[in-house]
């Protein structure tokens, strides 16, 4: 069996987009997807309701989320578990906020659109 060693750097190409968020898939393996999310402070607050569990950690910056009607303030180093089907919205985020999101998809494999459904 051959194993491919994959390396990368979380801080490479980490400048925020002019607006919104950029989702970079770092690893997709079976039911597991790991993404880096880089946020602009100019976001459209859109609600997310996902079929998969998601664990996120804010590595850099600050953010305020609405999670099922509860306001959650995050600072660098804070993490949050979002069970599947939990409504959540990013209300505000600092420029250049950097997130790491870990998704665990039901049924063993993520859908083809899984790389852009975080937070």
At 92-109, the pLDDT tens digits run 999 999 999 999 999 876
pLDDT at 30: 92
112 Cβ neighbours under 8 A, 6+ residues apart: none
pLDDT at 118: 57
Report yes or no on 11 lying in a domain: no
If pLDDT is split at 50, 70 and 90, which confidence band does 14 have?
A: very high
From the CB of residue 118, how many other CB atoms can be counted at a distance below 10 Å? 24
- Cα separation, 59 vs 76, in Å, equals 5
Report yes or no on 3 lying in a domain: no
Report yes or no on 4 lying in a domain: no
For residue 78, give the CATH number of its domain: 2.60.120.10
- Longest CA span, the chain: 48
pLDDT at 115: 44
pTM of the model: 0.86
- Cα separation, 49 vs 82, in Å, equals 10
Report yes or no on 40 lying in a domain: yes
Give the number of domains in the chain. Answer: 1
Report yes or no on 78 lying in a domain: yes
Domain that residue 51 falls in: 21-109
Average pLDDT, the chain: 91
């Amino acid at each position: 069996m051959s194993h491919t060693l994959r390396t990368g750097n979380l801080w490479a190409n980490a400048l925020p987009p002019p607006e919104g968020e950029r989702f970079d898939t770092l690893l997709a393996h079976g039911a597991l997807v790991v993404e880096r999310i880089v946020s602009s402070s100019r976001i459209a607050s859109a609600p997310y309701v996902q079929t998969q569990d998601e664990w996120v950690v804010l590595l850099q910056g600050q953010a305020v989320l609405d999670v099922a009607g509860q306001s959650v303030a995050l600072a660098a180093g804070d993490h949050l578990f979002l069970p599947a089907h939990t409504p959540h919205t990013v209300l505000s985020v600092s420029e250049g906020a950097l997130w790491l999101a870990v998704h665990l998809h039901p049924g063993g494999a993520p859908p083809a659109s899984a790389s852009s459904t975080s937070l």
